[in-house]
Chain A
Amino acid sequence: MRLEVGNILINDIQFGDRTEVKAGVLFVNREELAQVTGDDDRIASVEIYLAKPGEEIRIIPVKDVIEPRIKVSGKGGIFPGLISKVDTVGEGRTHVLKGAAVVTTGRIVGFQEGLIDMAGPGAEYTPFSKTMNVVLKVEPAEGLHQHEHERVVRLAGLRAAEYLGRAGQSVEPDSVEVYETKPLLEQVKEYPDLPKVVYVYMLITQGLLHDTYFYGVDAKQIIPTFVYPTEVMDGAVVSGNCVSACDKNLTYIHQNNPVIQDLYERHGKDLNFIGCVITNENVTLADKERSSNMTAKLVEFLGADGAIISEEGFGNPDTDMIMNCYKIEEKGIKTVLITDEYAGRDGASQSLADSTEKGDAVVSTGNANEIIKLPPMKTVIGYPEATDIIAGGSDGSLGEDGSITAEIQIIIGSTNELGYGLLTAKGR
């Protein structure tokens, strides 16, 4: 598959009469966007806000962050199986409003959503303090069952991202990147002397607020399978989860998967990037065994010399990661794991719940239990009282003055396990 990604650089967002991109500014017609976002009778209301880098704004709780994109040519549309038909994507040309993001927020569905601070110490820990954010506060109709509430908000965000992405359809991008992965035998032939690398892309699939979607299918139900890296760039993988805000893979991060980006960076130079194997993290032992068995089998079948394995989540998913690791290593294929740590507030506890001595190459994206003190923000979009019960917060986390003392677990993307950020942990 060959995909051209046209990046249209957005350096400001403003409300305007028409939704359009002009000289790097995304203008948003508020009413139209609200209409598109709220196009679902299970939604009671939609409020729209803008949050820019450096502004003293806190968005809490955050359900998802999505990058506005649009398919310009090639089969299918963005987010196949959810808001576009199920055509296979990843080819042709896609435009991206680079620097813009849609953020969804609303009444808390469960315990796990997190926050984004656009300024202050918390801003350093999330990538979305640096994006121009269109924030959608989506209020569901009364009486919605939790699973439906989640789905309604998820789809609303995707609709909004596509609507905004559409503004970039006919705009000449500032840069065009070309990504290409050939069918296996051709790909191997193209760089016969370079080590073959497969990316094992683990997706959390554990139920309400812990799910992921692949072409609209609940990934709990998939068997590990091969995916061209470019399919992911067109939204084939969508987030339905917030396992804890720190290591949740938001849809934006899937769209911009840094492992895929960085493997392509070296593709044809030091390595031959064969493609991705997506796998899940289910809640029964049999499923964990089955998925890791099949992942290892597929990775070997693809002829990999090495594999990067990224985890999503922590706790029982550590077992999925450990199984993937030793089963792939047992086949003589070298692995590198990317994971975050839960070493306790003092950093002195074991960081993982499971272990294998074959896990000798690990990249750490930081200890999620470290405490941070966030100052109050002038504006809070969403529901600040969520802080006390959010994962990483505790009774009393929210100060009377609006400050927050909690673990970095509470900050969206702070310990992202695709390695999107710079945070790591060192042994002391």
Chain B
Amino acid sequence: MTIRIVHYINQFFAGIGGEEKADHRPEVREGAVGPGIAFQQAFGEEAEIVATVICGDTYFNENIAAATDEVIGMMENYRPDLVICGPAFNAGRYGIACGAVAEAVVDRLVIPAVSGMYPENPGVDMYKKAVYIIETSNSAAGMRKAVAPMVRLALKLARGEKTGSPEEEGYIPRGIRQNQFAAERGSKRAVEMLLKKLKGEEYTTEYQMPVFDRVTPGAAVKDIKKAKIALVSSGGPVPKGNPDRIESSSASKFGRYSLQGIDDLNPENSETAHGGYDPVYANEDLDRVLPVDVLKEMEKAGEIGSLHEYWYATVGNGTSVANARRFAVEIVKELTAAGVDAVILTST
């Protein structure tokens, strides 16, 4: 069975026009178009580009959600086994479009997608985790060199074969960690790495130190006596019995709990779900993790405007940054809707 491919390109590569046609709305054509012809040649009998979806870069970037829907809808009709996007080289809007389409293909059509970009293309950082992006040069002059690795990787993915390292396959490292068994145990590898380092010889670290993003500091609260404060914690404070069964490590969820009728946390009404610290002290008095008693007093005394009626909790133990980010986005949505002015976040 020949592998069915749909190719996504922009208005320029489709031969429709340059910048002046960047508002071109999505359209689909049968078979290969523009650079797709070179891809088809490289695929030979192994795969067939059954359709090409074209969209103007400006139209796509200004209507990402709608454009993605339209494009995916068009692709679906052709029942592809895999989608190729671009390559976009260093063209930013094209790279973002390619990345967004590829990500949607993987998520919604549940088939693989391959793109090609120059490492500095903004689409790379945004989409490299979701999609394989073959490294290309920074202009269309690199088209011929980009086709071969894109085709090779596409065939592997379409066939469900195991992919090799970024160096082997030619894609930009996605920043994803994958387990495997090494030939020698870790302690031996450590001794060898140290010997190399001591001799000034080259060695390769098995893990590069992480980089975390930064956010702009929020404005200060003008008048705390009028402010609505909410309590959030990664220390795992939950109602007695952990009704939502938040996991003791690697939490997959957060909980929202009512402070109605609660002036103080104690072993009757609460406990900790967190498995990464000695729970004894928290279970004796959970105010040690979530300072409800003090904040309720402050609310009564008018030292703060009010304490939000819900507290939010998850377990930070071994919980991935991606999950934590996801929880935060949802929590902030709810807090904002509830008119909360500031958050006290406690961690253990």
Contacts and interface: CB of A to CB of B under 8 A. Distances in A.
The answer to whether any beta carbons of A and B sit under 8 Å apart in the complex is yes
B321 A350 contact: yes
Interface residues of B, number: 56
A259 B190 contact: yes
B277 A210 contact: yes
A6 interface: no
Contacts of A286: none
Nearest to B203: A361
Interface string B151-181: 0000000000001011000000111111111
A203 B266 CA distance: 32
A338 B190 contact: yes
Task: Please classify the interface of chain B as helix (H, G, I), strand (E, B), loop, or mixed, using the class held by over half of its residues.
Answer: loop
A418 B187 contact: yes
Contact of B182 (A346, A360, A424): A424
Interface string B311-348: 00000111011110000000000000000000000000
A243 B249 CA distance: 10
A426 B177 contact: yes
A339 B318 CA distance: 14
A315 B191 contact: no
A14 interface: no
Contacts, number: 249
Given A355-B209, A361-B197, A407 B250 contact: yes
Contacts of B193: 336, 361, 363
Task: Please classify the interface of chain A as helix (H, G, I), strand (E, B), loop, or mixed, using the class held by over half of its residues.
Answer: loop
A344 interface: yes
A289 to B, nearest CB: 18
B183 to A, nearest CB: 7
Contacts of B181: 124, 422-424
B210 to A, nearest CB: 4
Contact of B278 (A209, A356, A388): A209
A419 B189 contact: yes
A367 B179 contact: yes
B198 A306 contact: yes
Contact of A422 (B184, B190, B212): B184
A93 B212 CA distance: 50
A362 B207 contact: yes
B275 interface: yes
B222 interface: no
B214 interface: no
Contacts of B249: 111-112, 244, 391-392, 409
Contacts of A262: 185, 187-188, 190-191
Interface of B: 129, 163, 165-166, 173-191, 193-195, 197-198, 203, 205-212, 245, 247-250, 252, 275-280, 316-318, 320-323
